[in-house]
Amino acid sequence: MSVTPLIHRDVSWLSFNYRVLQESMDASVPLLERVKFLAIYSSNLDEFFRVRVANHRSLIRASKKTRKDLNFEPEEVLTEILSIVNSQQELFSDIFENQIIPQLKRNKINIVKRTELTPEQIEYIEHYFNDHMLPFVQPVLMVGKKIKPFLNNAALYLALYLIDKEANDEKPDFGFVKIPSDHLPRFIVLPPKKEGQRDIIIIDDIVRHSIALLFPGFHVKDTYSIKLTRDAELYIDDEYSGDLLDKIKKSLIKRNIGTASRLVYDRTINPDLLKFIMDVFELEEFDLSPEGRYHNNSDFFKFPDFNLQHLKNVPLPPLPIRILEESEDIFKEIIKKDHFIHLPYHSYESVIKFFESAAVDVNVTHIKIIQYRVASISRIMKALKLAVKNGKQVSAFVEIKARFDEEANLKWGEELESAGVNVRYSLPGYKVHSKLALVRRIESAGSPMLYCYMGTGNFHEDTAKIYCDMGIFTTDQRLTSEAARIFSYLETKQLPNKPFEQMGVGLFNLKPKLLALIDREIENAQKKVNAYMILKMNSLQDEEMINKLYEASQAGVKIQLIIRGICCLVPNVENISENISSISIVDRFLEHARVFVFGNGGKEEIYLSSADWMVRNLHYRIETMFPILDLNIKNMVRTCLNIQLNDNIKARILDGELTNEYKRNTSDLSIRSQVETYYYTKRMEEKANQDLLKEKEK
């Protein structure tokens, strides 16, 4: 019996994060953007450890009896994960030390080591330490294991290897000092050594320079940066359910909340000091993560740019959808036809105006919205509160289980409730991940009309500037009536009285609809009708969906995948997936849209969706997938997909070996899809503006 080829989801995710790291190596990427990709890589990895690696460690700590229902050995998976991460961390250090730092120097930006400081700079950092840092460094001298200091979660510390000046032997002492990067900037600009130069010191090295002041009775033999993380919560609900989930949680119930579970440390650390730290904090081998000299490299997001614009990306300012943004009545324009928005190429202003107009329009009676993640300062939230003041019935479903945004979403929910918005929160056992908004308006004839915005991304003004998402404004009753039924279910918990025909909705018909669409392509291939699919998403992990794609490939269906992140499917395997090709695009914007194209015997259908093809999305979330019914919008979406399929600059080939080779072809024309998409969108908007002017002239 042949084994279905699958790549473990976490191994595949690490391959995605390597693609992010590739961007920091790409000499064609502006230097300060390469620095930013180091930050993105590190931020991604931190979350991966907080969630995924924490899961594996939790499973290892669970009893063997509890784990008998798992279809993998968590020790083996964790060992592979740590091996890959260690290799990537060595590469990270090499990139930083041997590529980034020399390039910065060539641009007169110097990261100065403490041994390279001038007397003037030494005086500057000593004053800085005394004036700003001293209250936060918290020096602790260890006395055997009698003192067990509490190290803050994910905070930076120096572990010290000390020798008592008055002792007659060389027996070491150990200590800890906090690096106060949670209170102060990580990068401190120094008085330059030479005119025209820009000198920076990392705050860790200011602490290193000042250690002797904190431990006057000791020789400081060496210092090593460390970071301790604590997995206080288990995020296993998305992967396990029912009895297995309950068993895992019960087996871990005695575990101390906040137990240290991961030590990030300088890989050159003294072995005796490392063993001491492991003993004090009761760490095991699989809790160790060796890195370079500096940790919390997500701080590179705040690396000083000195306003050097030539070291950044050429700006691609968001393009206004003038017909909506400048219209006196946005609803009048949406009634005329559906409108397409493609972020971040388009400005988000039309979405904001949709809510702000609804808040003040005397004919609007209801506003409904699903909020999964929200900007900290949100005009949309402000519009909802204004709408209540103006007598509208406003309801918001706030998903308070959005990972790492739980506190922020609770805050927004409470603020909306205080303003009079009818707020509903998470459903037990499920997340609501759909991206929908609905406005009910009384038209001139006295009849109500539903206006809907549906998309692939959150109602988040900040991420709209960097996430590639698609959405539509529509009054098409085939879609708005089904969107209304979704809101009714969220508000009443009563099952819809009609089936969903146009849309696929998680918990109802999303996965069966997708399987049926694939089966239709299989049937067409068997009838020798041209059968194909183009599937763009963030992650492909659901084993049933993967097996169905393998089945389609074996039937002769041509399948092109564009997967940003996790791809557990193995393309181009003989007799299994030889009709499947897969690419991933990582560039200046985060690919986030989900687009599904089905050949349908020549009557091509295109769907946009909030859902990836992961177990959690297809089984444990309310997601939405909706068809593009407007021909012009369909053509625009298809063109954008074609541009991505022809990318020969930023596309990587996904394969079973996880090589992440750049896709190259024989074309003489370089195609960088995100840049090409921007200018395609610009051309389309210019044409639309010309058409609008002609209409006004009439």
pLDDT digits (tens, 9 = 90+) for 666-688: 788 999 999 999 999 999 999 99
Which of 269, 288, 311 terminates a domain? The answer is 311
Q: Is residue 2 part of a domain?
A: no
Helix H or strand E encompassing 191:
none
Same domain membership, residue 375 and residue 302 = no
Which of 311, 338, 356 terminates a domain? The answer is 311
More confidently predicted of 522 and 252: 522
The confidence score (pLDDT) of residue 61 equals: 75
Q: Is 116 a residue whose pLDDT tops 70?
A: yes
Q: What is the mean pLDDT of residues 59-86?
A: 81
Contact 446, 429 (CB under 8 A): no
The confidence score (pLDDT) of residue 39 equals: 97
Cis peptide before 344 (omega within 30 of 0): yes
Same domain membership, residue 365 and residue 305 = no
pLDDT band at 248 (very low <50, low <70, confident <90, very high): very low
pLDDT band at 232 (very low <50, low <70, confident <90, very high): very low
Q: Is 235 a residue whose pLDDT tops 60?
A: no
Of 545, 424, 434, nearest to 479 by C-alpha is 434
The maximal CA–CA distance of the chain, rounded, in angstroms, is 98
Residues marked as catalytic: 433
Tokens 């017909």 sit at which residue?
Answer: 323
Tokens 């079973």 sit at which residue?
Answer: 656
Give the range among 220-234, 342-356, 411-425, 529-543 with minimum mean pLDDT: 220-234
Tell me whether residue 563 is exposed, middle or buried, using C-beta atoms within 10 angstroms of its C-beta: 0 to 12, 13 to 18, 19 or more: buried
Of 588, 603, 696, nearest to 650 by C-alpha is 588
Tell me whether residue 471 is exposed, middle or buried, using C-beta atoms within 10 angstroms of its C-beta: 0 to 12, 13 to 18, 19 or more: buried
Q: What is the mean pLDDT of residues 241-251?
A: 48
Q: Is residue 4 part of a domain?
A: no
More confidently predicted of 72 and 15: 15
Please, which contacts does 115-122 make with residues 24 or more away whose CB atoms are closer than 8 Å? 117/190, 117/201, 117/209, 118/193, 120/191, 121/190, 121/191, 121/193, 121/199, 121/201, 122/209
Percent of the chain scored above 70 by pLDDT? 93
Q: What is the mean pLDDT of residues 144-157?
A: 78
Query: From the centroid of its chain, how far is CA 192?
Result: 37
pLDDT band at 259 (very low <50, low <70, confident <90, very high): low
Q: Which two tokens stand for residue 240?
A: 């396990």
| Residues in Cβ contact with 456 at an 8 Å cutoff, skipping those fewer than 6 apart | 435, 469, 470, 471, 592, 593, 594, 595, 608, 609, 610
The confidence score (pLDDT) of residue 171 equals: 83
Give the range among 28-37, 87-96, 170-179, 255-264 with minimum mean pLDDT: 255-264
Q: Is residue 53 part of a domain?
A: yes
Q: Is residue 385 part of a domain?
A: yes
Same domain membership, residue 461 and residue 517 = no
More confidently predicted of 321 and 216: 321
Of 12, 1, 10, nearest to 571 by C-alpha is 12
SS3 letters across 53-87: HHHHHHHHHCCCCHHHHCCCCHHHHHHHHHHHHHH
Angle at the Cα of 69 (from 66 to 71), degrees rounded to 5? 125
Q: What is the pLDDT of residues 7-59, one digit of tens each?
A: 999 999 999 999 999 999 999 999 999 999 999 999 999 888 887 887 788 77
The confidence score (pLDDT) of residue 229 equals: 81
pLDDT band at 497 (very low <50, low <70, confident <90, very high): confident
Same domain membership, residue 204 and residue 87 = yes
Q: What is the pLDDT of residues 189-208, one digit of tens each?
A: 999 999 999 999 999 999 99
Query: From the centroid of its chain, how far is CA 586?
Result: 12
What's the rounded Cα separation, in Å, for the pair 582 and 593? 16
Q: Is residue 692 part of a domain?
A: no
Q: Is 254 a residue whose pLDDT tops 70?
A: no
Same domain membership, residue 237 and residue 174 = yes
Same domain membership, residue 304 and residue 337 = no
Q: What is the pTM of this model?
A: 0.93
The confidence score (pLDDT) of residue 351 equals: 98
SS3 260: strand
Contact 552, 533 (CB under 8 A): yes
What's the rounded Cα separation, in Å, for the pair 157 and 504? 50
CATH number (domain holding residue 543): 3.30.870.10
Same domain membership, residue 576 and residue 636 = yes
The confidence score (pLDDT) of residue 145 equals: 60
Count of CB atoms within 10 A of residue 692's CB?
A: 15
Owning domain of residue 597:
506-685
Q: What is the mean pLDDT of residues 577-585?
A: 98
Same domain membership, residue 263 and residue 133 = yes
Q: What is the pLDDT of residues 172-193, one digit of tens each?
A: 889 999 999 999 999 999 999 9
The confidence score (pLDDT) of residue 146 equals: 61
Contact 260, 281 (CB under 8 A): yes
636 forms bridges with which residues in the sheet? none
Q: Is residue 698 part of a domain?
A: no
Q: At what angle do helices 673-697 and 631-645 cross, to 10 degrees?
A: 160
The confidence score (pLDDT) of residue 94 equals: 95
Same domain membership, residue 247 and residue 145 = yes
Q: Is residue 249 part of a domain?
A: yes
Q: What is the mean pLDDT of residues 606-624?
A: 96
Region label for 242, one of left (φ > 0), alpha (ψ between -120 and 50) or beta (otherwise): left
SS3 letters across 537-574: ECCECCHHHHHHHHHHHHHCCEEEEEECCCECECCCCC
Same domain membership, residue 148 and residue 36 = yes
Q: Is 618 a residue whose pLDDT tops 60?
A: yes
CATH number (domain holding residue 156): 3.30.1840.10
Same domain membership, residue 172 and residue 46 = yes
Residue-averaged pLDDT of the chain: 91
Q: Which residues of 11-48 are buried (b: 16+ CB within 10 A; e: fewer)?
A: ebbbbbbbbbbbbbebeebbbbebbbbbbbbbbbbbeb
The confidence score (pLDDT) of residue 612 equals: 98
Contact 457, 438 (CB under 8 A): no
Q: Is residue 694 part of a domain?
A: no
More confidently predicted of 575 and 241: 575
The confidence score (pLDDT) of residue 411 equals: 86
Which of 498, 526, 548 terminates a domain? The answer is 498
SS3 596: strand
Number of domains within the chain:
3
Q: Is 253 a residue whose pLDDT tops 60?
A: no
140 forms bridges with which residues in the sheet? 176
Percent of the chain scored above 90 by pLDDT? 74
Q: What is the pLDDT of residues 441-484, one digit of tens each?
A: 999 888 999 999 999 999 999 999 999 999 999 999 999 999 99
pLDDT band at 1 (very low <50, low <70, confident <90, very high): very low
SS3 219: strand
Same domain membership, residue 206 and residue 64 = yes
